[in-house]
Structure 1
């Protein structure tokens, strides 16, 4: 009986397919040329409901498959042309509508009314996606909406990519949302408030620079539904579970033409830190990097502790607290005040085990360390920004920003280290602590003078770092230059202070010859200073006694001056854009230490070029080249000795030269709305001459690192590709990422080459039904090949996964996801671990209340694995993860 029903259903489907007819045509302009990316809407003339929609291809052609023996109303629209309607009566045969001319119209706003109903609207450099056309109703946040849009993806760090490029800013109703950070936006903006997601290509917020910039930046603008404007909206959610698990999260938003206010709060211990240390370091205040735009890179030491950032569920315990507020207010049409405040507090307890293969250590009898770590991290951070933007006209732009960052970081570890080849073991304890802060100011002025543009940009930053490292060891950790007084328990305390200040200025003049040609002249300077002090002592933190050896006490005054001038020319020849340029730099580097001043001068030419070919508005190819000069900061050139870790030291090198880096990239995009296929691919190659790498010298089982200008050069070749295709209810995606790098250094005085080859492949198929369960199947494969000296390792991971979302009886939503991992070194024992999560939600239609039950890590998986390569070791680590737990929750929509 079931077979007969299936056969009958199949025959009925075939019958329905047989009644379909093909309708084709072409849209042309006044010059008889095809109009690419024109909007086409097909309606039922009886009730004006939408039947389907589409776009014309590069030749203006379109094609639809419609049910025969019916009539349809076609609506055509294109930016700069009058909209047109055409009533088409179909019989059972295919129909060719021929060439359909559109009439030019300067009243561009008319297009908005015609295409308002379309799921996708193309208007110049703006592509608008109507959220309801791509969602199925069970989406919670913006990230759930974005993942269903063609050409979009969200990476592991929560950053949004569109057409293969990272989104630089996220706006809501044209106003920046928390500095434009895409992760904060995607995790917090409610899905049911979103009307449209707009992609702003060639984004430039500075009006005088529009049409002159070649950065090809991408931003997103979120348009809200009418019912969400001029009133507060958001949600509040709370969950509790056993054993002693809790989650609380709340959002509140307000948007009006003059003002916007956003509040976010989060408190949980289920491994979902709303704001991690990695997020803290990523926030830059949105400042334009003046020095790197001219080819100068100055590598300031980072504030991280060298520990895994953003562990989330890779821990036994994770407690996160987060609060943030954002505002924008325009008292006048030409004046905008905006800013935000973010505060976070994260506590992570993370035991893990690591197997480390030391490159080159096998030359003295062995090189594998087994390391067991019990780690505790506590990180408190605060960020604040205030901005004033004044635009009295389209010709003038004035902006001032001040950005403050402060944090308090603590990392405590208990370690057990063993080398079986040497019959050696040691119990250790370490503590790393920092309270860094920084304040940055930015002033920008841009002014149109006729067709030309004059600009002045100034930036000032002041940064303080005070890393402290303390350790105790049962075994003597280091030999000379250390002379220990206590040989029962070895205790070391290291304190460092670095005060950095930077002043940057740049003046630019854009000489516009015509709409297709202009010159850009710029002059500028960068002045960096750093005061460095390092002290090493023996004993407890409270009563440590400094070592007498001057190598263990170091004070340095460092400065770097960069004066530069640049010339660029941009021309557009039909579909080809060419922008060659060159920057001339004069560098002066000074350092004063141990009573001696060292001064060095450099003169460097740094060329760059852009070649862009637009096959069409949706297909293009970019070729970029640039040469940069890379300098390191005071931490690399100080002559003293510092503790790097429990078993390694670091000594600087005041004779370091700068490195020259050549970079070439090729990027291809094909965003085809005619058949809903996207293809993005890119290749990047960089070569560093006189690269600054760390040499390592083994003294027993201890290591001494020192930066050198390595012989030869470092190379990095990477490539990526992304393909997706959307059918009515099915979407297909595939991605590939490849990266090959070569790093030259020295191990025990001998030249060493470290090679890394990483491969990542993924394929995905998903459904997008409105009334049926939706499923997403994915398969990922990753492989990392590491080699150096006589050490070689290969790690692979096979990871299939499945996600299911089902609406049950209209009021219940069931969600479940399962992922499987088969990890290991080919030819050796494999490690298998998997995760299963599930939830059930209940919400009556039109109710503001939602109730849920959620189970995480149902299989009670205990650990996951990762691998990595550094200057002298290959490591694989097993991290403990949060155990199985159950949560009961309630949510209220404001």
Structure 2
């Protein structure tokens, strides 16, 4: 049986061999040389591969096929880079195929190299290769930044890295633009930039590097070598319908000795040029200097801006000049000038409806207003700096003059009113800082900041309104309110830093001086033309002084994965204020202790967990102690009847930062808790036409808790950048309204997904969304019962599709959908659409561009708002359909 079985297997093997046939061949050039490593395939009539081989070193190949395979009309294909493709049918009865390969030159212009985006991590520096993230349709470095994983660019131009605001934007290591960097991201061509560096734990002073801890993040644009050698720029000219214009001229030069970015703009298409002069960290810098400027007390309206991109509703006629020039001298001194100027004229028209919910009553306001504003801005800054390893020197002189003239016609609760608001801002400051390193490597710091600031305002209203409150029930024809708070501020500090100890130490002493003078006058024009003072209160003539002497110690320790820093400041403060008209003459002395603590644990080389704690014990300012009534706008009357406000609070925050640079994955998350108290509360008396707000002596506690997180990832398989952010917050506070103490609990939740991907080579799609859920609860005492539980739901989604039908031709269509729901009112829904067509003429170095905005011609926009016990409805006038044809000449 075993012999029989072996014999049967042999027969079957022979039969199988006879049932197959061998197809073989060779590949040679016309000169007879073999062609190795060619791709040889057999395909069926449907184009599917049924067999595959690569030619060997002698150019030979072979296949084993079933006997009946030839009748299936198989085709033999040969592919090899540098040779013409061969495609021939197999012939029945033919087993050998000797093929001559014909050489074919390679057209390099048709070769497309596809590779994964490149990113490099070295220590605390993360480098993005700009070219590997850029697309053909991109223009500025800001276009590329938006799709880099880990980066966020808001509509205002502010940049965040993994959830943290950047502190500086450098260009080849130089801070040309100061804190106003949005003009750079919108203007600098991405083709000039080789890579974007993320500087984590950034220390801007070279003399303090490795001597002081830092948790700041900065960006540095590394310019290509060839781009440093020549002056570049653009000239943009655009015109369209209805009566539209848009123009820009910019010049750019970035070399090691001289850098400049100069931009002149003008338009009436809704582009807000004031955004180019926005400083994103100005508040932080003023806080560090101890300088809190008083804001303007007067306004011409009560409605804010709609939750839309500004170009939707900004009816403008604007021009600006933005000059930024920097010179590096051979001796290490850097000179820099930043000159900003803007003139503008814009209009805003809206209707509003506001409800104030009380425990047993509801007060309503209606308003229709047309506002015309004419703001202007001039700001000049001169800086001289030397940033060396042995010392740092910096002197910045800043002079600014800006203002606004606004007129408006409004109807409030069926009363026709006209207003005129005039505001001027005069600002002068000089900051001098010198930081030398001693021979023992310890460091001294000398700092002096001097500032003068004033913002006089005048508000005129006609006819006379609210005569029962303002004019003892007698009709009158007009109101004139004037205010100003000229301010002198001075800060001088000196510090000594020990750098060679296990615990790095800095000891600092200093003084702060503040002089202010609040003057206000409220005049009522009677029917006979005489202007009389408001009888309900005298004018303000309040003089204010605040003087501080302080000393603090900062102790920093770093070992292994742990890093900690604690600051222990002790401040002696004297505040004096007086106003003879109110027999007000107060002097107070305080001893303030405001410790700060930061602990950081590096869980891996790239990830960290940080804990922050701060105790704030602060006194109020001049805005909380003036006694004379000030009409802030036609519906708000302000005054105070309390001692100087004292505030204290605890803030605790925990944050986790996760990143995998090589796989382009970035995750961040954090929680924060704040509890603060004050010895005053703002009490409001609301009637059908006016609100009177008085600061009263009453204990007031505020608490809040928030959590947030975000993830950003580049998906290599799809060539896409995807992101997701979410936040949740709850706050508890009190309001005193119409003699009722109203405790409120506000809860807000937001989720923001986003993705940008390229599909099918010529098509790309972007998506961003934001869903917001807001709830305001009026809590009865400490009970759980709720009154007037208000809920607001908003969804905002944007989709953009780009298509390149031809080389150097780009078409983009954008859609934005907004949906708002409030349970007791009708739902609101809008769909906006825009289109952009651009063609690049290479030989002329010119782009031709057609922009069509608001394709659906939506000319009115409605929205709801919810805050504590205040519900608002607004209806705004929008720009209609608009088409602009633009030529962009690359110089």
- Same-fold call, TM > 0.5? yes
Which residue matches 1:29?
none
- Identify the match of residue 650 of structure 1 among 629, 634, 638: 638
Q: Aligned runs of 1:747-826 on 2, under 5 Å?
A: 747-768=737-758, 771-788=761-778, 791-826=788-823
Superposed structure 1 runs of 4+ greater than 6 Å apart:
540-544
Measure how far apart 1:792 and its partner are: 4.0
Q: Deviation at 1:291?
A: 4.7
CA 1:540 to 1:226, structure 2 compared with 1: closer, same or farther past 3 Å? Answer: farther
Partners of 1:464 and 1:497 within 8 A in 2: yes
1:99 is aligned to none
Q: What's the TM-score once normalised by structure 2's chain length?
A: 0.81
Q: Counterpart in 2 of 1:506?
A: 493
Aligned pair partner of 1:715 in 690, 700, 703: 703
In structure 2, the residue matched to 1:416 is 411
Distance in 2 (CA, whole Å) between partners of 1:827 and 1:870 is: 16
1:852 is paired with a residue of what secondary structure? strand
Question: Please, which of 360, 365, 370 is the counterpart of residue 369 of structure 1?
Answer: 365
Please give the alpha-carbon distance, in whole angstroms, between the structure 2 residues aligned to 1:878 and 1:225: 49
The answer as to 2:294 corresponding to 1:300 is yes
For residue 595 of structure 2, the aligned residue among 578, 586, 607 is 607
- Match for 2:340 among 339, 342, 346? 342
Instruction: Provide, for residues 92-124 of structure 1, a one-character-per-residue CA deviation record: whole Å limited to 9, x for no partner.
Output: xxxxxxxxxxxxxxxxxxxxxxxx998212222
The answer for the alignment partner of 1:616 in structure 2 is 604
Deviation at 1:543, TM superposition (A): 7.2
Contact 1:736 1:762 in 2 (8 A): yes
1:549 aligns with 2:539: no
Where 1:262 maps in the other structure, the secondary structure is strand
Q: d(CA) in 2 for partners of 1:340 and 1:300?
A: 24
1:132 shift after superposition: 0.7
Q: 1:548 to 1:299 in 2, by over 3 A?
A: closer
CA-to-partner distance for each residue in 1:437-478, whole Å, 9 max, x for gaps?
A: 11111111112222321111111110011111111246x415
> Which range moves more in the overlay, 503-512 or 838-847?
838-847
Q: In 2 relative to 1, CA 209–770 (structure 1 residues): closer, same or farther, beyond 3 Å?
A: farther
Partner in structure 2 of residue 24 of structure 1: none
Deviations 1:810-832 (A, max 9, x none): 12100111011111203531011
Pairwise CA RMSD: 3.0
Secondary structure of the corresponding residue to residue 143 of structure 1: helix
Is the Cα contact below 8 Å between 2:297 and 2:632 reproduced in 1?
no
Query: Paired residue for 2:446?
Result: 456
- Structure 2 portions without partners, runs of 5+: 1-42, 54-80, 83-114, 780-786
In structure 1, the residue matched to 2:320 is 322
Deviation at 1:550, TM superposition (A): 7.8
CA distance in 2, matches of 1:249, 1:633: 43
Give yes or no for the alignment of 1:387 onto 2:374. Answer: no
Which residue is equivalent to 1:832?
A: 829
Give the superposition deviation at 1:484. Answer: 7.1
Equivalent positions of 1:55-94 (< 5 A) are: none
Give matches, 1:740-751, under 5 Å: 740-751=730-741
SS of residue matched to 1:275:
helix
Pair 404,867 (structure 1): closer, same or farther in 2 beyond 3 Å:
farther
> In the alignment, which residue of structure 2 is the partner of 1:252?
251
* Distance in 2 of aligned mates of 1:529 and 1:783: 44
Partner in structure 2 of residue 79 of structure 1: none
Change (3 A) 1:306 1:714: farther
Structure-2 residue corresponding to 1:885? 882
Does residue 396 (structure 1) correspond to residue 382 (structure 2)? The answer is no
Question: How far is the alpha carbon of 1:178 from its aligned partner?
Answer: 2.0
CA pair 213-345 structure 1, distance change in 2 beyond 3 A:
farther
Query: Any gaps of 5 or more consecutive residues in structure 1?
Result: 17-45, 48-115, 419-424
**Distance of aligned partners of 1:674 and 1:257 in 2 relative to their CA distance in 1, 3 Å threshold:** closer
In the TM superposition, 1:519-668 aligns within 5 A as 519-539=505-525, 545-547=531-533, 549=535, 551-594=537-580, 595-653=583-641, 655-668=643-656
Q: Secondary structure at the match of 2:274?
A: coil
Change (3 A) 1:839 1:678: same
**Counterpart for residue 423 of structure 2:** 434
Residue 707 of structure 1 deviates from its aligned partner by 2.3
Match of 1:491 in 2: 478
Aligned equivalents of 1:540, 1:231: Cα separation in 2: 67
Q: Which residue of 1 aligns with 2:150?
A: 151
Q: Per-residue CA shift, 1:751-786, capped at 9, x if unaligned?
A: 222333222212123214693211113332112223
Maintained 8 Å contact 1:775/1:805:
yes
| 1:616 CA displacement | 2.2
Cα distance in 1 between the residues matched to 2:466 and 2:690? 8
Q: Are residues 872 and 554 of structure 1, via their aligned partners in 2, closer, same or farther at CA, if it must alter by over 3 Å?
A: farther
Quote how far apart the aligned CAs of 1:282 are: 5.4
Distance 1:859 1:337, change over 3 A: same
**Deviation of 1:283 (Å):** 7.4
What per-residue deviation string (whole Å, max 9, x for no partner) do you get for residues 15-66 of structure 1? 99xxxxxxxxxxxxxxxxxxxxxxxxxxxxx99xxxxxxxxxxxxxxxxxxx
Q: Corresponding residue for 1:873?
A: 870
Q: Determine the C-alpha separation between the residues in 1 that align with 2:728 and 2:149.
A: 23
Does the 8 A contact of 1:786 with 1:794 survive in 2? yes
Aligned-partner SS, 1:132: helix
Deviates more, 1:504-513 or 1:551-560: 504-513
Aligned-partner SS, 2:537: helix
> Deviation of residue 222 (structure 1)?
1.0
Superposed counterparts of 1:114-263, under 5 Å:
119-263=118-262
CA distance in 1, matches of 2:496, 2:384: 23
- Aligned pair partner of 1:479 in 468, 488, 510: 468
The alpha carbon displacement at 1:656 in A equals 2.5
- CA deviation digits over 1:784-810, x for unaligned, max 9? 223447544322122332111122211
Contact kept, 8 Å, 1:411 with 1:432, in 2: the verdict is yes
Asked if the contact 2:386/2:393 (under 8 Å) is kept, the reply is yes
Tell me the secondary structure at the aligned position of residue 202 of structure 2: coil
Q: Who wins on radius of gyration, i.e. which is larger?
A: 2
Residues 1:384 and 1:305: Cα distance change in structure 2 (over 3 Å)? farther
The Cα offsets for residues 690-727 of structure 1, whole Å up to 9 and x where unpaired, read as 16542102355422101245424112323321112212
| Contact 1:314–1:350 under 8 Å retained in 2 | no
Distance 2:311 2:813 in 1: 18
Q: Deviations over 1:271-290 (max 9, x none)?
A: 111224x9557574995644
For 1:866 and 1:470, the matched residues in 2 are separated by: 29
Deviation by residue 1:562-586 (Cα, 9 ceiling, x = unmatched): 2211122211131011222311111
Q: 1:327 is paired with a residue of what secondary structure?
A: strand
- Cα distance in 2 for partners of 1:302, 1:643 equals 12
Q: Distance in 2 between matches of 1:353 and 1:215?
A: 48
Contact 1:316 1:883 in 2 (8 A): no
Higher mean C-alpha displacement, 547-556 vs 596-605: 547-556
Count of equivalent residues:
772
Q: How far is the alpha carbon of 1:256 from its aligned partner?
A: 1.8
Q: How big is each residue's C-alpha offset from its partner over 1:717-753, in whole Å with a ceiling of 9 and x where there is no partner? A: 2332111221221222111123322332311222222
**How many angstroms apart in 2 are the aligned matches of 1:202 and 1:565?**
26
Instruction: Describe the shift of the 1:229–1:160 C-alpha distance in structure 2 as closer, same or farther (beyond 3 A).
Output: same
Q: Hey, what's the Cα distance between the residues in 2 that align with 1:890 and 1:402?
A: 39
